[in-house]
Structure 1
């Protein structure tokens, strides 16, 4: 049996996060910044380095997400924080709030290469939700698609409806956003509810 743990992204876990999302540390590869900062702020905060900009975000409260470990190895990244801390969601005309609940939002999921199709997402989502609950979040939302089959891997970071449904989320709304030409929906899990079996 594997041992699973989920920890917030901090300076202490930054290298583990990077091992998941950008193992070769390529500067132009994704550092999970696009929803959090406009390009000018990324350049200013990181003095031209996207990695350094993300390191700066990892020093803030709340941190921009969590890293999931299996048997001590970092295997997953979930970008989760209060919706109010995610500027592109705050100003989005495509993914509007369903109501006034101060939700936490999941905007990205990444499973480390070599660890996919091994149950990482289920443990990662459960760990992310538990982390948000400990921080006082009343609910967690995500904005996945329902591909009905395989989806374009470049957009897989948004997740699928079935993935979130399996973690106890229910659809509570629609959006005007798309990923891989598929509509994104609003899935929510009110905290204190158990995941469906």
Structure 2
């Protein structure tokens, strides 16, 4: 039986991240930089520069997410951290703060990726649980995400989305706060 190991990214993890994300970074050469840059910064970066940017953060010791391994092989990733560390969220309708929110106390899940050969085996849930543990250890008040809303079986969802699914987050104890955009929802877990 396979075992999952989940850990917060450290400076020594670049080879594992690179191996998991190659060759395309994983979603359209994003390299988990979409929310880490303003729209103007991102437009000025090509895929190689995005890869180098993530590599620089990781190797500098920036804790940018959580990695999942199956029997020692990189199998999944969740981009997560304090909301303030994601400039692209400031203008996002999907991530619009609620009245009374203190953005410095809320963490955001911005990317969820599981390698194709490891899907359907619980890795996404293990990654989300790892992100929740990390946010709780760092004394966050809440952790939220902006996943595809799959609660209506006839609604079309983007199967290539890197946001995850509402049902997966619900299985990890997140609550749907409200629908957002056409097919997305704001989900949140209180950590206090």
What is aligned with 1:152?
158
What is aligned with 2:65?
65
CA contact (8 A) 1:104 1:140 kept: yes
User: Which structure has greater helix proportion?
Assistant: 2
| Unpaired runs of at least 5, structure 1 | 193-197
Deviations 1:110-134 (A, max 9, x none): 0012111111111111111111111
Return the alpha-carbon distance in structure 1 between the equivalents of residues 25 and 80 of structure 2. Answer: 23
What is aligned with 1:31?
31
What is aligned with 1:195?
none
Q: In 2 relative to 1, CA 59–136 (structure 1 residues): closer, same or farther, beyond 3 Å?
A: farther
CA contact (8 A) 2:16 2:74 kept: yes
What is aligned with 2:101?
100
What is aligned with 1:4?
4
| Unpaired runs of at least 5, structure 2 | none
What is aligned with 2:185?
185
Of 91, 99, 110, 2:113 maps to 110
Q: How far did 1:12 drift? A: 0.8
Return the alpha-carbon distance in structure 1 between the equivalents of residues 61 and 118 of structure 2. Answer: 29
Superposition RMSD on alpha carbons, in Å? 2.8
Q: How far did 1:9 drift? A: 2.4
SS at match of 1:154: coil
How many residue pairs end up in the alignment? 185
Of 134, 139, 143, 1:140 maps to 143
Of 144, 152, 167, 1:162 maps to 167
Q: How far did 1:186 drift? A: 1.0
SS at match of 2:54: helix
For normalisation by structure 2, the TM-score amounts to: 0.82
Return the alpha-carbon distance in structure 2 between the equivalents of residues 152 and 127 of structure 1. Answer: 25
Return the alpha-carbon distance in structure 1 between the equivalents of residues 24 and 11 of structure 2. Answer: 16
What is aligned with 1:19?
19
Q: How far did 1:36 drift? A: 0.8
Return the alpha-carbon distance in structure 2 between the equivalents of residues 59 and 139 of structure 1. Answer: 27
Deviations 1:139-186 (A, max 9, x none): 11011122334733322x1111111100000012343x34xxx2x111
